[in-house]
A and B are shown apart, each in its own frame.
Chain A
Amino acid sequence: MIRIKCPYCGERDHSEFTYGGDASINYPSLDASEAEWTEAIFFRKNIKGFQKETWHHLNGCRMWLEVERSTITHEIKSVKPCHPDLQKLMELKK
């Protein structure tokens, strides 16, 4: 079982979370071209090692988190809120 350290709730089982997707994507603006959107939606790197991904603390604080996880070992290197303001807030909390 993957255990994720939610910056707000603490360390929890992955069953409290849902997997979002690739956190490294910068989604294009809404009026961007079909080509840009196609690139953002459909093309993914198949990373062996650490990748940035989003997880939603669905059955917890409902924060969207950016998680750096190894696809080989499930080791988690870092967890932080996706929203920059929440990131700052969590820094202050420390």
Chain B
Amino acid sequence: MSSKRIDNFGKINRDKIISFNWEKKNYFGYEGDTLASALLANNIKIVGRSFKYHRPRGIMSCGVEESGALVTIGSLEKRDPNVRATSQELYQGLEASGQNAFPNVNFDFGEINNYLSRFFAAGFYYKTFMGVPPFEWGSGTSIWMFFEKIIRKAAGMGKLSRLADPDSYEHAHDFCDILIVGSGPAGIAAAKEAADKKLDVILVEQDSLLGGDQIAEKEFDTNKTLQELKGLGVRIMNRTTAFGLYDNCVIGLIERVTDHIYYDKKDIPRQRFWTIRAKHIIVGSGSLERHIAFNNNDIPGVMTVNAAKHYLNRYGVLTGKDIVIATNNDSVYNTADLLSQAGAKVVILDSRKEVKLDNFNNNIQVKFETVPYSINGSRKIKSIDIADANHQPYSKIDSISCDQVLISGGWSPAVHLLSHRGVKAKWNAENLCFLPGDTKEKITMIGSARGIWNKSDCIKSGIAGALDAMHHMGLSKTNYFFPKEGGWSNPIQPLYEVKYNKSRSKSFVDYQHDVTADDVRLAHREGFISVEHLKRYTTLGMANDQGKMGNIIGLSLMADLLDKDIPEVGTTVFRPPYTPVSIGALAGRNVGKHFRPLRVTPMHQWNLDHGAIMIDVGLYQRPWYFPKNNETLSESYIRETTTVRKSVGVCDVTSLGKIAIQGPDATEFINRVYSNAFAKLPIGKTRYGIMLRDDGIVMDDGTSWRLSENEYLMTTSTAQAGKVMSWLEELLQTRWTDLKVNVTSVSEQWAAAAISGPKSREAIKNCLENPSLIENKNLPFMGFVSANLKDGTPCRIVRISFSGELGYEIYIGSDYANSMMDLIWKEVQNYNGCLYGLEALGALRVEKGHVTGAELDGRVTIEDAGLGKMASTKKSYIGSAMRTRGSLSANKDREQLVGFFPVDKKETFDAGTIVCEKNKIKGSGIGRITSVTHSPELGHWIGIGFVQGGKEKWHNTTLIGSDPVRNKQMEIEVVSPHMIDPEGKRMHA
């Protein structure tokens, strides 16, 4: 194959040759090439296969709007599908391959779909699978699932590697005065103007080089521009895409840090996700050239006109020798001239009657009032049939042999970023494009993104944009005005589709999703007359180019069918991202163990040193169990549970929430937030309390200790600690602003250990300076004392029990947690005690029927939880008016807390098991098991949970525990949730 690279054109560095691999063969390109330009230079025409029909596709543009050259870069875990070859810079050793083809893009079995195309028209899925799930719910999902696999394999894009992404990504933040998107003539002018006034300016460019469309101008020097801007202090971010614009001038950028080089070290991220907060945003995002729908307008060799100019003047590639340009506007004439100078034979088909241009090259043949009708060829262009523009229905009047067809159906300003802000674009009938609408936000559109076509006006608009920004910032009083949009010598003429006169045409509107003009007409016939419906039914504009090339054609076809104008049909809203953003960049460093913050208690290392296996509980890591001699989890927790009931055990309970409540109204405050009485809690005593939400449902439970007249320490559950703190702050700051109370989170300041079991008192005594402080008479159940450990460290000891045994919790300043644990552990060992973890803690509390977050799940009232006695009838408190509200109290059959035993004591069950009546095993049943454990004391599995009507209703009935997830069923019986020592003798001992 001959090279298409020509001398004396282009800005690539011909001294630096780069080898790369395409479809397992080696090729050469130059520094400065994109993959697309290197493929074109090597005369590779077919680079992919289309989405539905598997038609051969070539390179169709030179930028982000690319619809044909979507390729896969890299292999194995580095495989990156759906990369636009037009944006991918070439680097030494780059590996790339085509997509959606088997065995390869040159010979693809899937091409048979092209001949079966009438089966794949718009709405194919919906029609074929109507009555079949998921389109209609019912039984028989398997039919859809069977076909889905085949369809998904045949239709689609590149494949993911399914391996973990080895690259690293970063999130970064910054601020500036003015952020300018786009470094075309307008953006550069704006940057210079603003930087000149000493403003902090960031200039964002998605390309590797600055300049925008000027890069394709021979005399434009991108490096000189770069140095000039840097000298003015402009912060330049190239290879960076502004993918989304958000409230308050917050803009999202993706910086491609190493995508343009081969880099496999981890010290630099592959991409950086920037969130920048600017005072003003100037958008000079340019405009995109549209194509025209006509038969076979997708044959490899079809390209936008401006792309051919860039390939010639930037990359030194002459993409065709016999070129036909089809257009309806003036923008092609300069390119035609350049292509002709480079040696191509050029014919222009201009749909207009005539044009008047200065200094036009007379070697170029222009056929006025002529439009492209159909391309002949399948894998490459052989010739093009042309039609008379004024003679409809169109028909072939002549044929021109050629190897390339360049199209320009007009230009669409890239209004995407403004559209992200909810600003509707306005149709401009003179220039046949949507122009940016008005916004009150601090966003200014400049350059061709504003619909300004000629360069000198673009520069003027850039300067005006900078002045506009400074005016809004109150920094400038200079008058400014924006040049009028447009700027061509001859008006553009509408030309969206040249309708093919025969059946089975392939006039593509959206190349990426293989949506044809006929598909749009079919959708209309079937009643889809709103643009949003049309879009979803045909999938027009829903591929990863988001309709950058095809949207306007789709709209114009729809307008035609509805006999309306384009603005009446409307436009679809663009949403972020402007170009695809990798999931890795969104995740940043928040992956693996950094997915969320990790909280550890001050005795974390102590626990690990003593053999703890840890478990994640919310953000915390807590000891799960402490295995001895290779014990399994269940062997370990059963031993730990038994030891606690028999002698003594120690457990880290630091993760409980702790809140200091202080102030003259502290008692009043605490009495209002808890459902049970707190007004008369004596100093030195603690009380278990329940908090309800405004709507009467249980929010959390915990304890509060009265430290002095005006001071309390509140504990909360681990899970609700943050929520309770915010809630107390809300009540004090928004509702009860007259109360003189201060709340402070002291969760991090206090470490705590529970010491439980009949020997706990003896063990703790030996740790204290004054052992008599915790004698039964000095420290009764629910009392607390301030004490000193033997080493003199002050602590607080509360006599409280979650296990049902005699028990204490010792609270100590976090810094002293480890020395406290050393001291306690030494004494506990003397009584053959153990360390216990969360699993044993759970077993102990299930045996006692204590509720936790698994039970208090936000649907449970205080009565449902069997704690009705804790709802005071003598005072008003949060939730008191609502807890007995009609809908809660009228239903006598609400789910009540109960205990569960398996009927066959050898059976086990799991949390999540649904409780059903015999012979009525369906739906959500009549209850659920929320927590289970093996009870060493009872010698079998037990559970707690809820059942409608409670124990009263079912205690003599055998029910069924149904566990559809584990495909398990067992007979169960309902018992009291208080399965061990229901009178509480042990904890009062």
- Tell me the A residues contacting B by CB distance below 8 Å: 1-3, 13, 18, 20, 23, 27-34, 36-38, 40-42, 54, 56, 58, 62-64, 73-74, 81-86
Chain B neighbourhood of A29, CB < 8 A: 876
- Which of B247, B248, B250, B881 touches A30 (beta carbons < 8 Å)? B881
- The reply to whether B247 and A64 form a contact with Cβ atoms under 8 Å apart is no
A83 near B735: Cβ-Cβ < 8 Å:
no
Name the contact of A81 in the complex, choosing from B248, B275, B733, B886 (C-beta under 8 A).
B733
Q: Across the interface, which residues of A come within 8 angstroms of B706, CB to CB?
A: none
Kindly list chain A residues whose C-beta atoms are within 8 Å of the C-beta of B880. 30-31
Nearest chain A CB to B720's CB is how many angstroms away? 15
Cβ-defined partner of B882 (8 Å) among A38, A58, A74: A38
A1-B882 CB under 8 A given contacts A37-B694, A56-B730, A84-B737: no
Given the interface pairs A27-B735, A37-B882, A38-B882, the reply to whether A2 lies near B729 with Cβ below 8 Å is: no
Q: Which of B728-759 contact A (CB under 8 A)?
A: 729-730, 732-735, 737
Asked if A34 contacts B882 (CB within 8 A), the reply is yes
Bound-complex Cα distance A54 to B737 (A) = 15
Report the Cα distance A42→B694, complex, angstroms: 10
Contact A30 B878 (CB under 8 A): yes
Partner of B247 from A1, A20, A84 at Cβ < 8 Å: A1
On chain A, the residues within 8 Å of B734 by CB distance are 20, 23, 54, 64, 82-83
Tell whether B688 is near chain A: CB-to-CB under 8 Å.
Answer: no
B723 nearest in chain A by CB position: A18
A87 CA to B248 CA in the complex, in Å?
25
The winner among B247, B694, B695 for most chain A CB atoms within 10 A is B247
Residue in A closest to B735 when the chains form the complex, CB atoms: A27
Taking CB as reference atom, which chain A residue is nearest B882?
A37
Find chain A residues with CB under 8 A from B508 CB.
none
Q: How far is the CA of A36 from the CA of B694 in the complex (A)?
A: 12
By a CB distance below 8 angstroms, the chain A residues around B275 are: 1
Whether A30 contacts B695 by the Cβ 8 Å rule is: no
Q: Which residues of A contact B877 (CB under 8 A)?
A: 30
What are 19 A-to-B residue pairs whose CB atoms are below 8 Å? Answer: A1-B248, A1-B277, A3-B250, A18-B726, A30-B672, A30-B881, A31-B881, A34-B882, A37-B694, A38-B882, A40-B694, A64-B729, A64-B733, A64-B734, A73-B422, A82-B733, A83-B734, A83-B737, A84-B737
Complex CA distance for A34 and B880, rounded to whole angstroms: 9
Bound-state CA distance A86–B729 (Å) is 13
Provide the residues of chain A in CB contact with B248, threshold 8 Å.
1-3, 74
The residue on B at minimum CB distance from A1 is B250
Report whether A41 and B695 are in contact in the complex, using a CB–CB cutoff of 8 Å. yes
Question: Size of chain B's interface in residues, with CB distance under 8 A?
Answer: 28
**CB contact under 8 A between A64 and B730, given known A2-B248, A85-B737:** yes
Q: Is B246 an interface residue (CB 8 A)?
A: yes
- Report B387 CB to chain A, min CB distance, Å: 48
9 tightest Cβ-Cβ pairs between the two chains A and B: A30-B876, A64-B733, A31-B876, A1-B250, A3-B248, A82-B734, A37-B881, A83-B733, A74-B247
A33→B881 contact, CB < 8 A: yes
Interface check B596, CB cutoff 8 A: no
**Cβ B672 vs Cβ A86 within 8 A:** no
B564 CB within 8 Å of chain A: no
Q: Assess whether B918 is interfacial by the CB under 8 Å rule.
A: no
- Asked whether any CB of chain A lies closer than 8 Å to the CB of B885, the reply is yes
CB neighbours (8 Å) of A20 from chain B are 730, 734
Cα-based distance from A83 to B731 in the complex (angstroms) = 10
Q: Report the minimum CB–CB distance from A1 to chain B (whole Å).
A: 4
List the A side residues contacting B885 at CB < 8 Å.
Answer: 34, 37-38
What B residues does A85 contact at CB under 8 A?
737
Contact indicator A41/B882 (Cβ below 8 Å): yes
**Cα(A58)–Cα(B981), bound, Å:** 43
Task: Please determine whether B881 and A62 come into contact, CB atoms closer than 8 angstroms.
Answer: no
Given contacts A34-B885, A36-B881, A56-B729, 4 further A-B contacts (CB under 8 A): A27-B694, A54-B730, A74-B247, A83-B732
Q: B693: nearest residue on chain A (CB-CB)?
A: A41
Hey, which chain B residues are within 8 Å of A28, CB to CB? 881
CA distance A63 to B730 in the complex (A): 9
Q: What is the minimal beta-carbon distance from B490 to any residue of chain A, in angstroms?
A: 41
Chain B hits for A54, CB < 8 A: 730, 734
Question: B881 — nearest CB in chain A belongs to which residue?
Answer: A37
Q: Which of A13, A31, A56, A81 contacts B726 (CB 8 A)?
A: A56
A62 adjacent to B729 (CB under 8 Å): yes
- In the complex, the answer to whether B733 meets A86 with C-beta atoms within 8 Å is yes
Q: When chains A and B are docked, how far (Å) is the Cα of A26 from the Cα of B277?
A: 36
